[in-house]
Amino acid sequence: MERPETNAGTLLKKRITNAIYKPLWHPKTRYLLVTGGRGSGKSDATSLSSCEEITTFRDWVTLYTRWTLVSAEISIIPEFRDKIDILGRREEVQISGNVVRSLKTGSTIIFSGIKAGSGTQTARLKSIKGLNKLIIEEAEEFREEKEFNTLDDSIRQVGVPNIVVIVMNPQDTEHWVWNRWFEKSHRMELIDGFQIPMSTHPEVTHIHTTWYDNRKNLNPDYLEKIKILRTSDPAAYAHRYLGQWLTRKEGVIYPNWIEGEFDLTLPYGYGLDFGFTNPDAMCKVAVDDARKLVYLHEEMYATKQSNETIKTSVSEIGGNDLIVADSNEPRTIEALQSTGLNVQKVEKYPGCVVDRIRILSDYTWVVTPESYNAKFEFNNYIWNDKKASIPLDKNNHLIKAGEYIATRLLEGSTVLAYSK
């Protein structure tokens, strides 16, 4: 629902917020996901839009919550009072306990925490009558999606917009927010040299900001602290101040990978790793030896496929191009070859796994945006014992397929992959 701008609100937004936050004032979807690092101004923007809403629209009921909120009167309401004062609407608003009410419109904001003693009070909160907006601050503390769903289900009023705003500092990719709105629907954006995921899920509007977007409102000491951390601990800086999700497990084998488009000007081939309970994995790969780049695009990632299904899929994907496959399945390879496919066995010998890793660790892997399973593997394929050069044989099916064809291309094989 588009909402009218007020002159005071427009002036205040220019002072406090960035244009990136415009969707808070003009929501197009039920869900608004507001993420970012520390110092990004996301809480200010969220509370500001809420203050303007209750003094503009009639009969809105907003639940403003955090997992732990001991005293709204001390922690949150003073922030709202300041913004209402700047908007020049203090006389229109009544504050009583944990409730802020507009005398002009009848709209209210109710502040309440989720945690209550040893349990939660989501059941009680969902019974609040007339709720049409839910704001969850510090949503990273909501580790169970069912707690969110309980509250989300209560936002279902007729005749007014139903809006759910989730505000959080991104944590790890085990969080339900990642699984629900990022895992298979995101693009990567380069921010200050770091890859930051942006949700492309159709049911959510994603707003992501950093300290840099809010730098005009930060004091010099705080800015200096941020810059020092960027130099001393880049990974901590990316997570804390740029809002990077903690996606890569400690000890990943290929830390030097990025998201990017496949270079179609290069010769390419396909790698194929067989599974059953584990996935059959196939990918398209090209190598730019001069620039030390290996391009990978995920083509197949499926479990419990019949041989006929594998033959059909591999034929449609690979055509007449070179395919280097896992040599542990000679019957399957022979069946594929019998159909005229150019499938060759990867060379295996004692130590070959580590040799391939050693060779390809000198290259940067460029993984296409839609290769979600490949991106997961690159973030989770780790060493079991790095000193002994023993990788953990897990989360590596597309990576192994990529290694098979990449090392073959680097060998300068007489059977070359060729471009269509």
Mean pLDDT, range 214-234, rounded to an integer: 92
Positive or negative, the Cα torsion across 377, 379, 384, 385?
A: positive
Mean pLDDT of all residues belonging to the chain: 87
| Number of separate helices (H) and strands (E) present in the chain | 15, 21
| Higher-confidence position of 376 and 403 | 403
Give the gyration radius of the chain's Cα atoms: 26
Could you give the CA distance from residue 190 to residue 188 in angstroms, rounded to a whole number? Answer: 7
Mean pLDDT, range 109-124, rounded to an integer: 70
Could you give the CA distance from residue 230 to residue 239 in angstroms, rounded to a whole number? Answer: 10
Q: Which residues, 6 or more positions from 2, have their beta carbon under 8 angstroms from its beta carbon?
A: 26
Could you give the CA distance from residue 294 to residue 419 in angstroms, rounded to a whole number? Answer: 16
Is the pLDDT assigned to residue 247 strictly greater than 80?
no
Is the pLDDT assigned to residue 416 strictly greater than 70?
no
For 12-16, 127-131, 214-218, which range has the lowest pLDDT when averaged over its residues? 12-16
**Residue 71: band (very low, low, confident or very high) from pLDDT cuts 50, 70, 90:** low
Instruction: Provide the 10 A C-beta neighbour count for residue 266.
Output: 16
Is the pLDDT assigned to residue 341 strictly greater than 90?
yes
Classify residue 192 as exposed, middle or buried by CB count within 10 Å of its CB (0-12, 13-18, 19+): middle
Could you give the CA distance from residue 221 to residue 362 in angstroms, rounded to a whole number? Answer: 39
What domains sit in the chain, N to C, each tagged with a CATH number?
7-242 (3.40.50.300), 257-411 (3.30.420.280)
Could you give the CA distance from residue 229 to residue 218 in angstroms, rounded to a whole number? Answer: 16
Could you give the CA distance from residue 335 to residue 290 in angstroms, rounded to a whole number? Answer: 36
Could you give the CA distance from residue 249 to residue 240 in angstroms, rounded to a whole number? Answer: 17
Helix (H) or strand (E) holding 24: helix 22-25
Q: Do 79 and 87 touch, CB atoms closer than 8 A?
A: no
Strand, helix or coil at 246? strand
pLDDT digits (tens, 9 = 90+) for 140-161: 888 789 889 999 999 999 999 9
| Cα dihedral 289/371/374/206 (nearest 10) | 120
Mean pLDDT, range 322-338, rounded to an integer: 92
Is the pLDDT assigned to residue 351 strictly greater than 60?
yes
Q: Which residues, 6 or more positions from 351, have their beta carbon under 8 angstroms from its beta carbon?
A: none
Nearest CA among 298, 258, 291, 264 for reference residue 402: 298
Give how far the C-alpha of residue 416 lies from the chain's centroid of Cα atoms, to the nearest Å: 37
Mean pLDDT, range 287-311, rounded to an integer: 94
% residues pLDDT > 70 (the chain): 89
